[in-house]
Chain A
Amino acid sequence: MLLINCPYCGSRPEAEFANGGQAHIARPADPMSLTDDEWAAYLYMRDNIKGLHHERWRHANGCGRFFNASRDTTTDVIKRTYRMGERPEAEHQGAKP
């Protein structure tokens, strides 16, 4: 079983976690000014990266908190986990942080 490093609880088994999709997607400040296409893009369009991907994870059966993880989608190796509100490390930012 994979071990995932929860920023609050430490290294814990994968079975305790739930994936929360792509991270760092900011809700538009003024949704009313967006076109339907722009709103649809915010709601539904996500990156499908081969390589390092920044994701939200939740320690669902543990502390219950959301955090971010930088995971390589080809090897499934989680390079780093970090708390909500923090940015990925510069070297990991790549094309789309």
Chain B
Amino acid sequence: MLSPAIMRSNALSPMQSSSTTAASTTTLSILPDAAKLVFRGKTEAIEAAGAHFGVKPSLEACRFAAVGGRSVHWLGPDEWLFQAVNEDPIEVFGGMSAALQAQACSLVDVSHRSDGIAVAGPTAALVLNHGCPLDLSLKAFPVGMCTRTVLGKASLLLSRSEEQVFHVDVWRSFAPYVWQFLDEARNLS
């Protein structure tokens, strides 16, 4: 049987070569695979989870915290996404699961569910606004903010890691659509 690590394939890998080469100030790139765990639970449990993971989760709505390749994104009032770039999901899940034995909470490994795209450049917000109705100005969507939202017909997790860099985390089956959407939008703007 194949190990889960071998079975992981990024839905975006065929997209990079198909994207347009026309001059655009906005770049699209595929983010490296990461271990992704969705956590649901109350404050006490999320604090224990954060302490084990090494990143203090944000209790404020729509914010993420990152330390090195690890980050915790606020998804809902009792829901967070733990992300560890280039780490083995089985190991990360095993460690977290053991540390949370005494807590009433839910932890689900969703590493293979979604792929990531980085949208970078001075007009990145404008490109995203071709399909996303959110106000992406720095005032309304500051660095460190994350939220699930819509882009065209797809639902995705949008976060701003730098002033001109957005990260998009989208489910595999929507990933090529979102890539093509952004590729087209960046050549219009």
Question: How far does the Cβ of B170 sit from chain A's closest Cβ, in whole Å?
Answer: 12
A62: Cβ under 8 A from any B Cβ: yes
Beta-carbon contact of B79 and A64 below 8 Å = yes
Q: Looking at the complex, which one of A10, A61, A64 makes contact with B150 (CB distance below 8 Å)? A: A61
Question: How far does the Cβ of A97 sit from chain B's closest Cβ, in whole Å?
Answer: 24
Beta-carbon contact of A64 and B75 below 8 Å = yes
A13: Cβ under 8 A from any B Cβ: yes
User: Interface size of B by Cβ–Cβ distance < 8 Å?
Assistant: 13
A77: Cβ under 8 A from any B Cβ: no
A9: Cβ under 8 A from any B Cβ: yes
Q: Looking at the complex, which one of A1, A9, A15 makes contact with B147 (CB distance below 8 Å)? A: A9
User: Interface size of A by Cβ–Cβ distance < 8 Å?
Assistant: 13
Chain B residue numbers with a CB within 8 Å of A63 are: 61, 75-77, 79, 148
Question: How far does the Cβ of A2 sit from chain B's closest Cβ, in whole Å?
Answer: 10
Question: How far does the Cβ of B41 sit from chain A's closest Cβ, in whole Å?
Answer: 15
Q: Looking at the complex, which one of A8, A10, A62, A65 makes contact with B149 (CB distance below 8 Å)? A: A62
Beta-carbon contact of B150 and A8 below 8 Å = no
Beta-carbon contact of B133 and A1 below 8 Å = yes
Going nearest first, the 6 A-B pairs with the smallest beta carbon separation are A13-B133, A63-B76, A61-B150, A61-B155, A8-B77, A64-B76
Could you list 10 A-B pairs, sorted by A, with CB under 8 Å?
Answer: A9-B147, A10-B61, A12-B134, A16-B133, A16-B149, A61-B150, A62-B147, A62-B148, A63-B61, A63-B75
B62: Cβ under 8 A from any A Cβ: yes
Beta-carbon contact of B148 and A64 below 8 Å = yes
Beta-carbon contact of A16 and B150 below 8 Å = yes
Q: Mark B113-148, 1 if CB is under 8 A from A, else 0.
A: 000000000000000000001100000000000011
Q: Mark A3-30, 1 if CB is under 8 A from B, else 0.
A: 0000011101101100000000000000
